[in-house]
Amino acid sequence: MSASTIDPLDNVLEQPVDSKYVFRSKKGLNEDIIREISARKQEPSWMLEKRLASYDIFRKKPVPTWGPDLSALNFDEIIFYIRPEDYKAMKWEDVPDAIKKTYDALGIPEAEKKYLAGLVAQYESEAVYTNLKKAWDSKGVLFTDMDSAVKEHPDLVKEYFMTKCVPAADNKFAALHGAVWSGGSFVYVPKGVKVDIPLQTYFRMNTKSSGQFEHTLIIVEPGAEVHYIEGCTAPRYSVSSLHSAVVEIFVKDNARARYTTIQNWSTDVYNLNTKRAIVYENGIMEWVGGSMGSGVTMLYPASILRGKGARAEHLNIAFAGKGQYKDTGAKVILAAPDTSASIISKSISKDGGKSVYRGLVRIGSNATGAKAHVECQSLMLDDKSSVDTIPIIEQLTPQSSVGHEATVGKIDEEQLFYLMSRGISRDDAVALVVRGFIEPIAKELPMGYAVELNRLIQLEMKGA
Amino acid sequence: MSLLEIKNLHVEIEGKKIIKGLDLTINPYEVHALMGPNGSGKSTLSYTIMGHPKYKVTDGDILYNGESILNLGVDERARKGIFLGFQYPMEVSGVSVENFLRTAVEAKEKKDVPILAFHKALNKRVEAMSIPQSFLDRYLNEGFSGGEKKRNEILQMAVLLPKFAVLDEIDSGLDIDALRLVSEGINKLIKEDRLSLLLITHYQRILDYIKPQFVHIMVDGKVVKSGGYELAQQLDKMGYEWVKEE
Ligand SMILES: Nc1ncnc2c1ncn2[C@@H]1O[C@H](COP(=O)(O)OP(=O)(O)OP(=O)(O)O)[C@@H](O)[C@H]1O
Ligand SMILES: [Mg+2]
């Protein structure tokens, strides 16, 4: 990565050799590393085979060229697996000041800071988690880290893990993920069980979650309901510059799932994810996402509406600041009658940041009575920034309806004048307008998240 | 010392001369009315006092408490106690009236304002002004009727308690009851908080509620005639032609 694109955070991997970092994990990828990952995790052989098969696909597939420029992404320079003992080699002093300042501004507790900064793999268990776990256990709800699930629930994992939702062959990064995945969550909600308290990864930061290639698998059986919340608003610092998570969600008949995430990786990171849900009859899938950090982000949560009457709702906020390229959007395949989808995407670009909405809505030939609505709005805070909208709509049956609205606008100087005439500084006025702009989505976030997001935006406006 | 002193003010917008040598002096605790035909430059004057970046002062000065404010930013002027009630208040989607007001008070006080305490104080305030509380949760001016927008301007003024306010056609778009309520609100601020006022209006009616000591008539970027309350009455009967002809 060139230095110009990663300001203000330097990629520690490119720091001179006299850096305090003594980093022992090998860069690059080969079969030995994959075998090592699997062995260290003491995985059953079927998982190792899956990894190796994925690696095979990864090598054969080209890097996608239809989106952001990924030519600077050098797989030989990336650390694919961080050994637990390597965490000990990293020190708080090595975390860039910019990140530390943001933690302080957000009022993040000491123990958590270290976890967020990637200094510790584990985070002290909270009493609240233990209590919640009891409640989940009694209802048969499974919520564990993905590594444990492989050993404890092999039948479920074998059936659903990168098989019918996101197979390794889906794209190069999914294949890479299949080879080197580590950590993430496994959620299983039995038939008819409604989990009323959102499941948050935050609750189980005590378990291993390297963050880099997390795999999340959520199975919601018929009539069940769950809300899963991933990540947190504080920036996460990482020694690796590539993140490629996979999320697979199964929403069975009459079930309902909501997946909420706010991602805020440090700005030297390529964040290339594959997130997808398959929704069966009358099921409801809701994606609520905010993408704050990262250098290059490619993220298009997908809903495949396979059952009659299935519904998908996508809410997305992308923020592109200096040196950032956000290529985000949504993909919805309406493949059954009376399915419906609503996509609302909002992007903000500032200081030369670029944000692109890329969306696909496909209404299949048998999806009579299907309805889809796409709304994307972009807000540019200055002349240096740019936005683009690439909405693709394929309507294969005329007995369906699609609506699309796109608005691109610069921040309204008259609005700022009005706010400033009440004594509000320009920076705060801009922050207020931006917060108002994302409010329709932010109000869908859990309380604490919305508050943190607002504070984060305020910090971004001040150029912190 | 006068509160606001405008001396030989010349203002241009996009190269077009709008205000052409305007003088106006307002002393503390005075109420002045400014009247004049459409397009004579009244709103331009109000924006210029507030510091709108598009309105360029090419000559003259504006003194506030004896000091020029021309080099101050919009927000700095506001924090010094200047307020502008807009002829056309802007809509800001997604920002609730309450949230906006708290942000403004925080800016004025230069410190965080506790959410709950502010919420209680604000509720009392709107109740006293006969404004429904649901108003506070609505997005700033979005979907507000013309009259509601104007009442919202007065609410903002009542919360921020400026020392000097320009109210630009605060009476237009108000029904008879709302005009009375708004006027009462303004009178309360004049009496209890010693607000000084420049009231821009086309109609004598509001001046029956809020009695100005001075009435000025602006034509083509200049004050062409000043007088007492009777000048407004005269205008109401005779229109502007006689002033222009003089
Ligand atoms: N942003 C602008 N761009 C171009 N011309 C402008 C702008 N703002 C004001 N003007 C012009 O300046 C002149 C004065 O306008 P202003 O709004 O100050 O009048 P006013 O006295 O407030 O009128 P009204 O009684 O109709 O509110 C008008 O000719 C108007 O067209
Ligand atoms: Mg006007």
> How many CB atoms neighbour CB A209 within 10 A?
22
Taking contacts as CB-CB distances below 8 angstroms, the residues of chain A near B104 are 419, 422-424
A401-440 burial code (b ≥16 CB/10 A, e <16)? ebeeeeeeeebeeebbbbbbbbbbbeebbbbbbbbbbbbb
Asked if B90 lies within 8 A of A432 by C-beta distance, the reply is no
pLDDT of the residue at A464: 39
User: For the segment B203-231, what is each residue's pLDDT rounded down to a tens digit?
Assistant: 989 999 999 999 999 999 999 999 999 89
Residue A411 in any domain: the answer is no
Three-state SS for B142? coil
Domain count, chain A: 2
Residue A253 and residue A88: Cα distance in Å, rounded? 46
User: For the segment B107-119, what is each residue's pLDDT rounded down to a tens digit?
Assistant: 999 888 888 889 9
Three-state SS for B57? strand
Q: Which of B14, B22, B44, B150 gets mutated to test ligand 1 (max ligand atoms within 8 A of its CB)?
A: B44
Query: What is the radius of gyration, based on Cα positions, of chain B?
Result: 18
Task: Tell which atom from ligand 1 comes closest to the C-alpha of B36.
Answer: 21
Taking contacts as CB-CB distances below 8 angstroms, the residues of chain A near B160 are 422-423
Residues B85/B168, Cβ–Cβ less than 8 Å: yes
Say yes or no to pLDDT of B168 above 60. yes
> How many CB atoms neighbour CB A382 within 10 A?
13
Residue B121 and residue B223: Cα distance in Å, rounded? 41
**Of the candidates B78, B79, B95, which has its C-beta nearest A436's C-beta?**
B95
The residue of chain B with its CA nearest to that of A436 is: B94
> How many CB atoms neighbour CB B120 within 10 A?
11
In this complex, how many residue pairs, one in chain A and one in chain B, have their CB atoms less than 8 Å apart?
79
Nearest CA to ligand 1 atom 31: B39
Residues A185 and A43 in one domain: yes
For residue A317, give how far its alpha carbon lies from the nearest alpha carbon of chain B (Å).
14
Q: Which of B14, B38, B224 gets mutated to test ligand 1 (max ligand atoms within 8 A of its CB)?
A: B38
Local mean pLDDT, 10-residue blocks, chain A (464 residues): 30 30 60 90 94 95 84 79 58 64 63 57 48 84 90 96 94 94 91 89 42 88 94 56 89 97 74 92 95 80 97 93 87 97 94 90 96 94 89 93 91 96 94 91 79 75 60
Nearest CA to ligand 1 atom 4: B13
CA A198 to ligand 2 center in whole angstroms: 53
pLDDT of the residue at A456: 75
List Cα–Cα distances, A374 to A173, A208, A280, A299, B156, in angstroms: 27, 38, 22, 17, 37
Asked if B78 lies within 8 A of A420 by C-beta distance, the reply is yes
List Cα–Cα distances, B239 to B22, B218, B235, B244, in angstroms: 22, 13, 5, 10
Nearest CA to ligand 1 atom 18: B41
Identify the contact set of chain A against chain B, taking CB-CB distances under 8 A. Answer: 412-415, 417-426, 428-429, 432-433, 435-440
Asked if B107 lies within 8 A of A424 by C-beta distance, the reply is yes
Last residue of a domain, which of A274, A299, A324?
Answer: A299
Residue A161 in any domain: the answer is yes
For residue B56, what is the enclosing H or E element? strand B55-64
Q: Which residues contact A305 (CB under 8 A, 6 or more apart)?
A: A279, A311, A312, A332, A333, A334, A335, A336, A339, A340, A341
Asked if B160 lies within 8 A of A422 by C-beta distance, the reply is yes
| Closest among A367, A356, A361 to A392, alpha carbons compared | A361
Q: What are phi and psi of A20, to 5 degrees?
A: -65, -15
pLDDT of the residue at A124: 40
The pTM assigned to this predicted structure is 0.82
Nearest CA to ligand 1 atom 25: B38
List Cα–Cα distances, A139 to A188, A224, A229, A300, in angstroms: 11, 11, 19, 33
The two three-digit tokens of residue B157, written as one number: 């003024």
Taking contacts as CB-CB distances below 8 angstroms, the residues of chain B near A438 are 94
CA B41 to ligand 1 center in whole angstroms: 6
Domains in chain B, CATH or no CATH each: 4-89+162-245 (3.40.50.300), 92-143 (no CATH)
Last residue of a domain, which of A299, A319, A342?
Answer: A299
| Residue that is written with structure tokens 């059952």 in the block | A307
**Of the candidates A418, A423, A433, which has its C-beta nearest B89's C-beta?**
A418
Residue A23 in any domain: the answer is yes
User: Considering chain B, what is the average pLDDT of its residues?
Assistant: 93
pLDDT of the residue at A91: 62
Nearest CA to ligand 1 atom 27: B38
Residue A292 and residue A219: Cα distance in Å, rounded? 27
CA A433 to ligand 2 center in whole angstroms: 25
User: For the segment B1-10, what is each residue's pLDDT rounded down to a tens digit?
Assistant: 899 999 999 9
Residues B221/B19, Cβ–Cβ less than 8 Å: yes
Query: What letter represents residue B30's amino acid?
Result: E
Residues A295 and A427 in one domain: no
Residue A249 in any domain: the answer is yes
Three-state SS for B143? coil
The two three-digit tokens of residue A43, written as one number: 């995985």
| A377, A424, A428, A434, best to mutate vs chain B, most B CBs in 10 Å | A424
Q: Would strands A142-145 and A185-189 be described as parallel, antiparallel, or unpaired?
A: antiparallel
CA A145 to ligand 1 center in whole angstroms: 65
Residues A285 and A424 in one domain: no
pLDDT of the residue at B70: 96
CA B226 to ligand 2 center in whole angstroms: 19
Angle between the N-to-C axes of helices B97-109 and A426-442, in degrees from 0 to 180, rounded to the nearest 10: 150
* Averaged pLDDT for residues B25-53: 96
pLDDT of the residue at A370: 97
The residue of chain A with its CA nearest to that of B80 is: A423
Residue A384 in any domain: the answer is no
Last residue of a domain, which of A299, A327, A357?
Answer: A299
pLDDT of the residue at A7: 28
- Which range of residues forms the domain containing residue A453? 419-464
Least trusted range by pLDDT, from A98-107, B16-25, B40-49: A98-107
CA A263 to ligand 1 center in whole angstroms: 47
Residue A20 in any domain: the answer is yes
Least trusted range by pLDDT, from A1-10, B120-129, B234-243: A1-10
Residues A71/A1, Cβ–Cβ less than 8 Å: no
